[in-house]
Amino acid sequence: MATIFTRIAQGEIPSYKVAENEDYYAFLDINPLAKGHTLVIPKKMEDDYIFHLDEKTYTGLWAFAREVAAAIREAVPCKRVGVAVLGMEVPHTHIHLVPLQTEGDLDFRKKRPEVSAEEQAQIARAILNAYEKRK
């Protein structure tokens, strides 16, 4: 059965897209830890545990995540982009990319900042522009 993230990558469910290529898709987290918090996924779901992915999908996912992280860093003021892989909630492999000012920004138990839909759209556009420019 298609996961919610497969349906997002297929455009059946709306998302704030920040980058895409043939095999991978990146979009803003709906409940961000920080402004610009992005999820990076393989479009085709093989396994929900990242370390079970086949070699090609695994290395491709991380290579794409690196390009997206560079675009985030250009578009969102931050010291660096942090990485987390949890998968406790959505059973579709995904990498979290979180713009960091301090290490506490990667605390998944903390209160999340309020980010309006308008601001999410604006941040997504800025990251997408930076991603497209780098290509």
Q: Annotated catalytic sites, by residue?
A: 94
Query: Do you know the residue count of the chain?
Result: 135
| Binding residue (CB under 6 A) for ligand AMP from 10, 49, 63, 86 | 86
The residues in 24-43 that bind ligand AMP, with binding defined as CB under 6 A, are: 29-31, 39
SS3 116: coil
101 binds ligand AMP (CB under 6 A): no
For the chain, strand residue ranges (E) read 17-20, 24-28, 38-42, 80-84, 95-100
Residue 52 DSSP one-character state:
G
Beta bridge partners of 96: 39, 84
Nearer to ligand AMP, 89 or 135 (CB): 89
Q: What is the CA radius of gyration of the chain?
A: 14
90 binds ligand AMP (CB under 6 A): yes
4 binds ligand AMP (CB under 6 A): yes
- Contact set with ligand AMP (CB under 6 A): 4, 15, 29-31, 39, 86-90
